[in-house]
Amino acid sequence: MSALNQPHFQDAAKAREWLEALLWPNGAICPHCGTVGGHYTLQGKGHRPGLWMCKDCREQFTVTVGTVFERSKVKLNIWLQAVYLLCSSKKGMSSHQLHRTIGVTYKTAWFMSHRIREAFRNGSPGPLGGGGSIVEADETFYGRIKGRNPKPGGDSAHKILSLVSRTGETRSFHIANVTAKTITPILRGNIAQDTKLFTDSAGHYRRLPKGTFKKHGMVNHKQKEYARGEVHSNTAEGYFGLLKRGLYGTYQHVSEAHLQRYVDEFDFRFTNRVSQGVNDAERTDAALRQITGKRLTYRRVSARSQDQA
């Protein structure tokens, strides 16, 4: 059976049951008060399928409340197809391709992929590395900043800094310029101290204070040194190859305003890559947990700030 022939990709009710099983392994979670398990399903005429009532706060909810799928006219099984396709295509999938593959309009496909992409960001809020593990940091250039003429040195291009854990997460940042002043706070804020950081020997890395991390190893690209034992940034280089092929080949033109979102998408897939033991179905599950959980968080946060206002 091909992947998209599975029942939850073909039928909206099956999709809902499947999503409930994925997101609520310990029983339905009330999005209003957070109580887990013991809630009632509301059945019969006049009730939407998949409607629940909370045993504590008596509010009604479904598995899609507070997610990007809520209030969408697109059927849930079609949403799941879109998430699967974006998660399983190594170099991404354009909205034109998505539109043709899942049978929604181009406009809808564009909207869906942006919502999914938005949710790819920041799976884990904690720092990368730790426990003496290895994180590589490197930067790359993409496209051209409007109004700036191409000059050697990459100053006219957008800059992307990537932190790539050899055994875990990849996190990238669209940054204004590549200097110690912009890069050092990102390294400190996103990498655990007990980490071996490997970079090239560019000036902005040489200026990183000693003792910031457990170890800081640099390879000197200018002297054609690319690896010294475990000290190298080849994983990050490989990631940039994939990112560039996606940005130039699949998405063709990514505007400055959207660049971070596209980079988030590539980060997510690379974090959950095959060499980390994650297959297409598992990557899709991970995305769905993130998509739904994230929307809930946003909603709770905004509800709380309204309470206080």
Sign of CA dihedral 276, 281, 285, 288: positive
Shortest Å, Cβ 27 to Zn ion = 12
Our finding on whether 29 is near Zn ion (CB under 5 A) is no
Shortest Å, Cβ 60 to Zn ion = 9
Distance between CA atoms of residues 99 and 197, nearest Å: 42
Shortest Å, Cβ 56 to Zn ion = 5
Question: Burial, 184: exposed, middle or buried (Cβ in 10 Å; 0-12, 13-18, 19+)?
Answer: middle
Shortest Å, Cβ 76 to Zn ion = 22
Q: Which amino acid, 302?
A: S
Shortest Å, Cβ 44 to Zn ion = 21
- Give 205-211's long-range contacts (Cβ < 8 A, gap of 24+): 205/137, 205/180, 207/180, 208/180, 208/184
Question: Burial, 227: exposed, middle or buried (Cβ in 10 Å; 0-12, 13-18, 19+)?
Answer: exposed
Our finding on whether 39 is near Zn ion (CB under 5 A) is no
Our finding on whether 303 is near Zn ion (CB under 5 A) is no
Our finding on whether 30 is near Zn ion (CB under 5 A) is yes
Q: Which two tokens stand for residue 117?
A: 């992409």
Size of the site for Zn ion (CB under 5 A): 6
| CA distances in angstroms from 220 to 33, 149, 202, listed in the order given | 55, 29, 8
Question: Are residues 294 and 90 in contact, defined by beta-carbon separation less than 8 angstroms?
Answer: no
Nearer to Zn ion, 40 or 106 (CB): 40
Nearer to Zn ion, 29 or 287 (CB): 29
Shortest Å, Cβ 51 to Zn ion = 14
Binding mask 52-91 for Zn ion (x = CB under 5 A): --x-xx----------------------------------
Distance between CA atoms of residues 74 and 95, nearest Å: 15
Nearer to Zn ion, 64 or 260 (CB): 64
Nearer to Zn ion, 29 or 102 (CB): 29
Please give the residues from 133 up to 152 whose contact with Zn ion meets the rule CB under 5 A: none
Our finding on whether 119 is near Zn ion (CB under 5 A) is no
Nearer to Zn ion, 57 or 274 (CB): 57
- Using DSSP's 3-state secondary structure scheme, residue 24 falls into coil
Our finding on whether 15 is near Zn ion (CB under 5 A) is no
Residues that bind Zn ion (CB under 5 A): 30, 32-33, 54, 56-57
